[in-house]
Amino acid sequence: MKASGHDLKGAIHYFNSKTQKLCFPLMALIDYKGFRMTCQALLPLSDHSLCYGSEDAGKTVHKSNPELNETITQASQFLNVARHVVKVVRDVNPTTNEEEVKPIFLDTAVDIEVFIFIFFHVFFIFKKYK
């Protein structure tokens, strides 16, 4: 029950950061007969519109758009959220055959999902429920 309330509080805090190009879908918190539910407007997103965060509990971390990365950094600085390592990727360099360790840094929690909406070039930040 608390998770839905925390999702809404997080969205409100990011909304209050007044970061340009960072938008949020319509969101409502509904309590009915002891059940709490988060309702969000459906957005016309494609399969490849996730640009920041993870939709599979950190197995795959996206951070592909430099403009979005800067926007998220600005909002996180306003909220006093520090950049931190969310995943360490071990990769083998094909030329030297040596294992390289590459940390992935995010300015938010790893399970946040930020999508880009192509038509207006704005970023929607929310948790996508399946």
pLDDT digits 0-9 by tens, 31-72 = 899 888 888 888 777 777 888 888 888 888 888 888 889 989
Residue 111, phi then psi, degrees to nearest 5: -90, 10
Would you place residue 25 in the very low, low, confident or very high pLDDT band (cuts 50, 70, 90)?
A: confident
Can you give the pTM of this predicted structure?
0.77
Long-range CB contacts (within 8 A, 24+) of 12-19: 13/79, 14/75, 14/79, 14/125, 17/74, 17/75, 17/78, 17/79, 18/78, 19/71, 19/74, 19/75, 19/78
pLDDT digits 0-9 by tens, 103-118 = 889 998 888 888 887 6
Whether the predicted pLDDT of 82 surpasses 80: yes
- Dihedral sign for Cα 32, 23, 103, 82, please: negative
Separation of CA 31 from chain center: 25
Would you place residue 127 in the very low, low, confident or very high pLDDT band (cuts 50, 70, 90)?
A: low
Tokens at residue 72, please? 């998220």
DSSP letter for each residue of 94-117: TTT--EEEEEEEESS-TT-EEEEE
For residues 92 and 106, what is the distance between their CA atoms, to the nearest angstrom?
23
Residue 129, phi then psi, degrees to nearest 5: -95, 140
pLDDT given for residue 24 in this prediction:
81
CA-to-CA dists, residue 41 to 2, 16, 28, 67, angstroms: 20, 20, 9, 25
